[in-house]
Chain A
Amino acid sequence: GAVVSQHPSRVICKSGTSVKIECRSLDFQATTMFWYRQFPKKSLMLMATSNEGSKATYEQGVEKDKFLINHASLTLSTLTVTSAHPEDSSFYICSADAGAFNYGYTFGSGTRLTVV
C-alpha cells in the first residue's frame, strides 16, 4: 500500500511553454503533498507544501506564479511550470503524506524536465 504515482517521468519542452507534472496517491488519500526540486550535485530542495482544498505554502525564494500547484482532490496534486526556461530544467519529485496509520511518506519516482 501507500503508492504514489508521478507522471510523466521525463519531459522535454520548448522554452516559453508550460509543463504539468502530476502526483497521485493510488491507494490512500493525501491531504498533504510536498514538491521538491533537485539541482545538479546538490541536495533536494523543498519547493512547496500542497494542501488539499487550500493554497499551497511556498518556500522562500520559490516563485508562486511560475510554479503553480493545485491540490484539488485528496489523491491528486499537480505542479505546473509556466513559461519554462532552460534554467527550470531539473528533477522534480513529489511526496505524499500516507497518514498516521501508515506512518510516513511515500515518494513519487520523479520527473526529469528538460527545457530546450
Chain B
Amino acid sequence: SQELEQSPQSLIVQEGKNLTINCTSSKTLYGLYWYKQKYGEGLIFLMMLQKGGEEKSHEKITAKLDEKKQQSSLHITASQPSHAGIYLCGADRSNYQLIWGAGTKLIIKP
C-alpha cells in the first residue's frame, strides 16, 4: 500500500481548464517533492516544499503544503497539452526515509 495517497489516479481535462492533484499522508512530512514524467523521458523535478503553509509557483503550476505538513496540492491553471504526463509526489517522512505516491496520469484533451 502507498504511504502517500495521491489522487486522482488519472485525470482527463479539457485544454484551458484548471486542475488539482493531491498528495496526502497520515503523518508529518519533512519535505515534499513534486515530479513530472512525460512519455519517453525521465522524471523532471518541479518543486520542493518544506515549511508548513509554503507555496511555490512555476509558470502555471502552483504547489502548496498545508500547515500540518501532511497534505500537498498541485494546481495547474489554464492547462495546456504540454502539461500532460505523470505527476508524482514524494516525501521525506523522517530523517532520510522516503515514501512515494502512486502517481497521477494527466491527459489534456484539445
Contacts and interface: CB of A to CB of B under 8 A. Distances in A.
B39 A100 contact: yes
25 contacts: A34-B42, A36-B42, A36-B43, A38-B98, A40-B96, A41-B31, A41-B92, A44-B43, A46-B42, A91-B98, A95-B42, A95-B43, A97-B40, A100-B39, A103-B39, A103-B107, A104-B37, A104-B39, A104-B85, A104-B86, A104-B103, A105-B37, A105-B86, A107-B103, A112-B98
Nearest to B87: A104
B100 to A, nearest CB: 6
Interface of A: 32, 34, 36, 38, 40-41, 43-44, 46, 49, 91, 93, 95, 97, 100, 103-107, 109-110, 112
A109 B100 contact: yes
A90 to B, nearest CB: 9
Q: What 5 A-B pairs have minimum CB-CB distances, sorted nearest first?
A: A46-B42, A43-B45, A104-B86, A104-B105, A34-B42
A53 B49 CA distance: 39
Contacts of B103: 104-107
Given A38-B98, A44-B45, A100-B39, 20 more contacts: A34-B42, A34-B43, A36-B42, A41-B92, A43-B48, A44-B33, A44-B35, A46-B42, A91-B96, A91-B98, A95-B43, A97-B39, A103-B105, A104-B85, A104-B105, A105-B37, A106-B103, A107-B100, A110-B98, A112-B98
Contacts of A97: 39-40
Nearest to A93: B100
- Interface SS of B by simple majority: strand
A42 to B, nearest CB: 9
A95 B45 contact: no
Contacts of A110: 98, 100
B88 interface: yes
Contacts of B40: 32, 97
Interface string B57-100: 00000000000000000000000000001101010100011101
